[in-house]
């Protein structure tokens, strides 16, 4: 791996992780069609660090929401342990949001029994091309959905479960996690801006859990420590571009132009199928 390849993969990860065009699909295409290998020969750690870099981006953008969640959960715990007789119960929107995040994360456990089968799909650019086309169709439909009004204070458990199931389905490469979950949120009647926020917040435990499994596997297969400076370079690039991608996506969704990515995904999917058949 060269410095240029590390920067390229950092850019791909940072941009595609949050924009609804499938980071896993694009990384797999780069690795399988262009011979940039990060998942084998001791380089699996690089994939883990790239995802951690984009995870830091989420924490920076939504730091106020994360602080509110922690603060409200502590306050709720204290009130539950020391109730005031006859006192009016306070509302803790941060604690309720955390509950919705936990509920939306639970469907991911259904993927664990078939995790190895899902990983094998990363080697099939034919499957990824088809999945990208499906992502494009989904995004095209999302822009034509009516605007919802639900937010953290009034979204239901069913809404969280629906978004969580779609997140679990989007673990297959080529399906955009952010695009799938944001579209599912809008279909459930969530406010567009909140659908984006909820999609990114539920990705935090999902990414941490997936990276923990990958980290254990990476250490068991061996780490190529001589490449570690390049790993850090790619991670830094992923973090910076990931931050910019979140800001851009929030702006695009606010303008109601989410479906623009549909055309890119359709083009990328068709191009991937053609390159797969040719190469």
For 199-222, what is each residue's pLDDT tens digit? 999 999 988 887 787 777 777 766
Query: How far is residue 92's CA from residue 102's CA, in Å, rounded to a whole number?
Result: 16
pLDDT of residue 255: 78
d(CA 198, CA 204): 10
CB 262 within 8 A of CB 136: yes
- Identify the segments of the chain with pLDDT beneath 50: 38-42, 86-87
Coil, strand or helix at 64: helix
> Long-range contacts made by residues 224-229, C-beta under 8 angstroms, separation at least 24?
224/41, 224/42, 224/43, 224/45, 227/1, 227/42, 227/43, 227/46
- Residue 190 bridge partners (DSSP): 150
pLDDT of 35 = 65
Q: Which two tokens stand for residue 50?
A: 């790239």
């Amino acid at each position: 791996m060269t410095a240029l390849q590390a920067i390229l993969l950092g850019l791909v990860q940072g941009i595609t992780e949050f924009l609804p065009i499938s980071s896993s699909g694009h990384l797999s295409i780069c690795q399988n069609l262009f011979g940039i290998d990060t998942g084998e020969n001791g380089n699996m750690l690089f994939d883990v660090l790239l995802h951690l870099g984009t995870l830091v981006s989420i924490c920076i953008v939504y730091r106020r929401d994360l602080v509110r969640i922690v603060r409200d959960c502590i306050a709720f715990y204290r009130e539950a342990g020391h109730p005031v007789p006859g006192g009016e119960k306070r509302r803790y929107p941060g604690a309720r949001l955390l509950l919705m995040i936990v509920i939306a994360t639970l469907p991911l456990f259904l993927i664990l029994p078939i995790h190895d089968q899902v990983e094998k799909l990363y080697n099939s650019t034919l499957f990824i091309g088809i999945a990208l086309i499906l992502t494009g169709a989904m995004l095209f439909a999302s822009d034509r959905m009516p605007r919802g009004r639900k937010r953290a204070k009034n979204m239901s458990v069913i809404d969280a479960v629906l978004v969580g199931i779609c997140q679990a389905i989007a673990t297959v490469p080529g399906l955009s996690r952010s695009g799938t979950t944001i579209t599912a949120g809008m279909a459930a009647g969530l406010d567009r801006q909140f659908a984006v926020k909820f999609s990114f917040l539920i990705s935090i435990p999902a990414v941490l859990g997936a990276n923990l499994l990958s980290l254990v596997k990476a250490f068991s297969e061996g780490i190529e420590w001589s490449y570690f400076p390049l790993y850090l370079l790619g991670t830094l690039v992923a973090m910076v571009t990931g931050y910019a991608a979140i800001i851009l996506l929030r702006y695009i969704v606010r303008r109601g132009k989410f479906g623009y990515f549909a055309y890119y995904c359709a083009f990328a999917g068709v191009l991937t199928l053609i390159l797969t058949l040719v190469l």
